Structure formats: structure tokens, C-alpha cells
């Protein structure tokens, strides 16, 4: 079990605990999190040292550099806690939360200036009643406002939307603030800010690996390379000696994108906790 499970999970994975979606958790998050209003849609009040300043110390003072990164990691964790989930669990999340919605992605807007032309292109997901807050503060959801607003969906529509973004190659991540689960992001490197922090600077505060790792059944792999472009984490490697795909379990984040692309069923997801060398590798 990951550190979120230890705090919020009860006897299950934390995001499968229905309490994580309750209004009560929303109020606790407001009360206990001094940074609760610091979110990606409201970044204006962030006053901690930006990463662009911190990286100046990488060569001149490595010790201070690491210390500053750790401090940054703590702040980013207070702003947004996310965990990678495969589509099977993302669909369960849709069923438990009961009120999925989609909206345009803030990271892609900030990083690339991408604004979707239609709601079919929305890639960020909101969950539960708290998403109605966008109507109270449209100025904080500027990109959604510019695209005609948040799109509220039925559970079945939400699951079908997830399959669509999965096919496009986005990594599903659930997000919470002090245990209140309110978003299902669909991310990619390098546009996603949280993925960049994790992959470029090893800042773990914002993004944990999934509860799973992917394994290739060598006898089933026909070396077709259909999965090769799907991994955002550099964990997949084609071995020309055997004409098979291989997965580095330490790099694997357990997103399952390779699994959904494999036509031979050669890739399976296994619980991370099953492997002693990986169970603490979040």
C-alpha cells in the first residue's frame, strides 16, 4: 500500500474508498490544508522559489540544490497530490464518484497555448460536486471558460471518454487534496507540469507511481512494436536479439498504456506489492 493508502485507504487502495469522494472530505481539506486554494487553476498566490531559480544551484552547490528540490517537493505535494492509475481503476473511479466531468487541460494551455476546439478534445477530468465551483469562480477556470465551460457527463459517458483519451496516449492520474479526490487528469510528458517535475528532477511530492507494474509474457510477444510509442516513462525497450519487448520494472509507472495497445495480450499488470524489490518504489 502506498503512503496515500496508509493515510486515507481504510482496508483498500485509497482511491477505491468511497469516503475519498464525500463532501465531508472536501470540508476537511479546506480546514486542514493551508494551501487548499493553491491549485493549478489558481497559481497566482504561489510564492515559493520557482524551479527555474533552483536549477541554478545544480552545479555550484549540489547539496543546497537537493535541499531546495525537497522543499519544492513538499510545496508541490501540498498543492496537488496525484497517482498514476491504469484505465481499469480509472473506470472504477468513475463508477464510485458518480459525477464525472471534463475540461480543458491547464498544463497544455500554459506550456503550449493549446486550447481545445471542442469538448471531445478535453483531456482533464473533474470529479464530484466540487466541480460546480467553476461556475462560482470562472475567472480561475479561464481555459474552461474560453472553451464553453466544464462538460458534465454520465458515468457511462465518462468511461467512454476515458477510453478515448487512453487511445490518444494520455496517462491517467487521480488527484486529491488531503484525501478529497477531485480530479482524474490525463497527462503526457513534457506538457504535464507534475510529470516534468517527477521525470526531470525526481520530485516525488506531486506524482506517485501506480499500484501496478507491467510485465511482458515473452512467449506471447510477437515483436510487433504496437506498444513501443506508448510509454511516457522510458520503461519499454525492444530487444532485437529475441525480437521481444522488455520492461524495466524500476522505470515502469504502471500506467497500463502499453497493455491497452498490445494486440496479443502479452502485457499484464501485476500489483506492485507482490514484488519485494518494488513494493516501496513509488
If residue 125 lies in a helix (H) or strand (E), which one and from where to where?
strand 124-127
Q: Does residue 157 contact residue 150 with C-beta atoms inside 8 Å? A: no
- Return the sign of the alpha-carbon dihedral for residues 125, 129, 135, 137: negative
Smallest distance, ligand SF4 to C-beta of residue 119, A: 15
Interface with ligand SF4, residue 87, by CB under 6 A: no
Q: CA dihedral in degrees (105, 108, 114, 118; nearest 10)?
A: -20
If residue 268 lies in a helix (H) or strand (E), which one and from where to where?
strand 267-271
Smallest distance, ligand SF4 to C-beta of residue 220, A: 7
Smallest distance, ligand SF4 to C-beta of residue 62, A: 28
Q: DSSP per residue over 139-166, as a string?
A: TTTHHHHHTTS-EE--HHHHHHHHHHHH
Interface with ligand SF4, residue 245, by CB under 6 A: yes
Residue of the chain from 225, 242, 280, 281 that contacts ligand SF4 (CB under 6 A): 225
The window from 4-12, 61-69, 112-120, 185-193 that contacts ligand SF4 (CB under 6 A) reads: 185-193
The window from 60-68, 92-100, 105-113, 157-165 that contacts ligand SF4 (CB under 6 A) reads: 105-113
Interface with ligand SF4, residue 20, by CB under 6 A: no
**Residues whose CB falls within 8 Å of the CB of residue 266, separated by 6 or more in sequence, listed in order:** 216, 217, 218, 220, 221, 222, 245
Interface with ligand SF4, residue 144, by CB under 6 A: no
**Residues whose CB falls within 8 Å of the CB of residue 201, separated by 6 or more in sequence, listed in order:** 51, 55, 69
Residue of the chain from 106, 147, 165, 181 that contacts ligand SF4 (CB under 6 A): 106
- Which CB, 130 or 186, lies closer to ligand SF4? 186
Interface with ligand SF4, residue 253, by CB under 6 A: yes
- Answer left, alpha or beta for residue 127, where phi above 0 means left and psi between -120 and 50 means alpha: beta
Interface with ligand SF4, residue 184, by CB under 6 A: no
Residues that bind ligand SF4 (CB under 6 A): 40, 105-108, 123-124, 185-187, 191-194, 214, 216, 221-227, 230-231, 233, 235-236, 245, 247, 252-258, 261-262, 264, 266-267
Amino acid at each position: 500500500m502506498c503512503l496515500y493508502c496508509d493515510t486515507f485507504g481504510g482496508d483498500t487502495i485509497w482511491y477505491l474508498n468511497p469516503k475519498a469522494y464525500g463532501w465531508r472530505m472536501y470540508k476537511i481539506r479546506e480546514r486542514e490544508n493551508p494551501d487548499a486554494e493553491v491549485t493549478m487553476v489558481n497559481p497566482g498566490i504561489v510564492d515559493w522559489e520557482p524551479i527555474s531559480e533552483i536549477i541554478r544551484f545544480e552545479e555550484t552547490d549540489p547539496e543546497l540544490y537537493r535541499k531546495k528540490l525537497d522543499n519544492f517537493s513538499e510545496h508541490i505535494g501540498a498543492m496537488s497530490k496525484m497517482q498514476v492509475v491504469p484505465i481499469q481503476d480509472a473506470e472504477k473511479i468513475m463508477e464510485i464518484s458518480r459525477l464525472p466531468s471534463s475540461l480543458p487541460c491547464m498544463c497544455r494551455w500554459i506550456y503550449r497555448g493549446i486550447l481545445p476546439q471542442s469538448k471531445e478534445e478535453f483531456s482533464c477530468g473533474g470529479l464530484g460536486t466540487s466541480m460546480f465551483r467553476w461556475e462560482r469562480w470562472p475567472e480561475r477556470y479561464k481555459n474552461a471558460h474560453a472553451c464553453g465551460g466544464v462538460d458534465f457527463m454520465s458515468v457511462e459517458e465518462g468511461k467512454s471518454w476515458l477510453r478515448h483519451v487512453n487511445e490518444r496516449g494520455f496517462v491517467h492520474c487521480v488527484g486529491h487534496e488531503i484525501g478529497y479526490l477531485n480530479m482524474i487528469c490525463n497527462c503526457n510528458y513534457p506538457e504535464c507540469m507534475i510529470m516534468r517535475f517527477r521525470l526531470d528532477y525526481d520530485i516525488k511530492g506531486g506524482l506517485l507511481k501506480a499500484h501496478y507494474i507491467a510485465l511482458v509474457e515473452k512467449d506471447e510477444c510477437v515483436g510487433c512494436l504496437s506498444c513501443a510509442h506508448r510509454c511516457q516513462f522510458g520503461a519499454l525497450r525492444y530487444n532485437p536479439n529475441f525480437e521481444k519487448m522488455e520492461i524495466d520494472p524500476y522505470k515502469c509507472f504502471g500506467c497500463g498504456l502499453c497493455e491497452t495497445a498490445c494486440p496479443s495480450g502479452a502485457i499484464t499488470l501485476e500489483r506492485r506489492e507482490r514484488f519485494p524489490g518494488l513494493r516501496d518504489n513509488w
